[in-house]
Amino acid sequence: MSLWKALEGARVLDLAQPMRTGMPQSPSHPPFRMVLERRHGDRVRPDGGSAANEVIVTGGHVGTHVDALAHVSQDGLLHGGRPAADVMSHEGFSALGIDAFEPYVGRCVLLDVAAAHGVDTLPPGYEVTAGDLARAARDVDVREGDAVLVGTGWSRLWSSGEDFVGVRGGAPGPGIGAARWLAERRPRVVGGETVAFEHVRPGRGHTTLPVHRIMLVEAGINIVETMRLADLLDTGAREFVLVLNPLPIAGATGAPVRPLALL
């Protein structure tokens, strides 16, 4: 069967949150801003034509994005024991930046932890455990090199601002045990719906990021954050094709991405 035939009739779901000024984000990163620099009518060509354009200013970890391996260090060391200072300059990173991420097109497994608990959305501050992931994976195999997404239902709260970020009540996400469970299975990339792929305790914010350390520094597994998974969760699909290709910003520690699920 040709590739084109295989794709005929496939349903495509956009897993990216829309990027707009004021959208929920981690307080640790510069915010997204967009303004029209030129409006229609500011300059009109002799034939009556006009064009509008914008200026966009954003951090690399705002909206739906991929974390590069250079994003986190531990005791001054990046993945593979490489000293961060050796590859870091004002121009970014000469190694392990987001431009080193090879586009991913392949099998993706969705572990719907919320559904495993019989709810649409996990409660604020809930710690996803290794047992939760094993329970959600009962009917699907997680293979080395897969993409693995953890469903919490949290993207249903996207419009709720500070509640989504978990400023007061925290946000659901994997704890250390769940991170170890994932890392042992050697996925190519992991992802989730919250601004940080972490268990965020009530009132604690992003004071520590142990799951980032395990994934990025120890295991060399990239992370996708702030994904829009609500519609995908509602389909009941547990495996599908994922297309993941972040902007190749040279030396950056992360970049926006528009993931696509092919069902």
Tens digit of each residue's pLDDT (9 = 90 or more) over 207-216: 789 999 999 9
In a domain, 43, yes or no: no
239-255 burial: b if 16+ Cβ within 10 Å, else e: bbbbbbbbbebebbbbb
Give the pLDDT of residue 205. Answer: 65
Asked if residue 19 belongs to a domain, the reply is: no
The structure tokens listed for 66 are 């991929």
Strands 147-151 and 127-128: unpaired
Asked if residue 80 is part of any domain, the answer here is yes
Report how many domains make up the chain.
Answer: 1
Q: Is 210 in contact with 176 (CB distance < 8 Å)?
A: yes
Cβ-based neighbour number of residue 220 at 10 Å: 15
Tokens of 247: 């902007």
- The answer as to whether 50 is a domain residue is no
pLDDT of residue 162: 82
Backbone angles phi, psi at 159, to 5 degrees: -80, 0
CATH at residue 224? 3.50.30.50
CA-based Rg of the chain, rounded to a whole angstrom?
19
Residue ranges of the chain with per-residue pLDDT less than 50: none
Range of the domain at 65: 60-262
The CA distance from 208 to 176, in Å, is 12
Q: Do 155 and 230 meet the contact criterion of CB atoms below 8 Å apart?
A: yes
Q: Give the span between the Cα atoms of 143 and 124, in whole angstroms.
A: 30
Tell me whether residue 32 is in a domain: no
DSSP-based three-state secondary structure for 3: helix
* The dihedral sign for the CA sequence 38, 40, 44, 45: positive
Query: Using CA atoms, how far apart are residues 12 and 236, in angstroms rounded to an integer?
Result: 15
Backbone angles phi, psi at 34, to 5 degrees: -140, 130
The pLDDT of residue 69 is 98
Residue 210 CA to residue 212 CA, distance in Å, equals 5
Is the residue at 3 inside a domain?
no
9 occurs within a structural domain: no
In a domain, 20, yes or no: no
